[in-house]
Amino acid sequence: MVNSNQIKTKEEKEGMKALGIVRKVDNLGRIVLPKEIRDTLRIDIKDPLEILATEDSIILRKYVPGCTLCGEISDNYIMVKGRRICLNCSGAIYKKMKP
């Protein structure tokens, strides 16, 4: 027998959860982000948001130009779970991981 608590959707496995909030798109294609979410994620007026899309979902996240960890703008990044990491930071992580 399978416990329903053990069945997770792809979104749940990635840390996303349905908030039970439904908003309609207006005639210009806009939606309002709920204030509670803006407050929790510290999204302020005029903050840039990055739009990502999957086959059936749209993901909005705070836009952080450059390296996710240090903010440095570089020509070379490695991508880890959709986040940009500069070579200096990836090297620092690698050094910490070495036995």
Smallest distance, Zn ion to C-beta of residue 86, A: 3
Beta bridge partners of 49: 62
Smallest distance, Zn ion to C-beta of residue 17, A: 29
List interacting residues with Zn ion (CB under 5 A).
Answer: 67, 69-70, 72, 86, 89
Nearer to Zn ion, 41 or 69 (CB): 69
Q: What are phi and psi of 28, to 5 degrees?
A: -105, 5
Q: Of 56, 53, 49, 63, which Cα lies nearest the Cα of 9?
A: 56
State the CB neighbour count (10 A cutoff) for residue 49: 12
Nearer to Zn ion, 52 or 73 (CB): 73
Nearer to Zn ion, 52 or 70 (CB): 70
Smallest distance, Zn ion to C-beta of residue 72, A: 5
Tokens found for residue 20: 């039970």
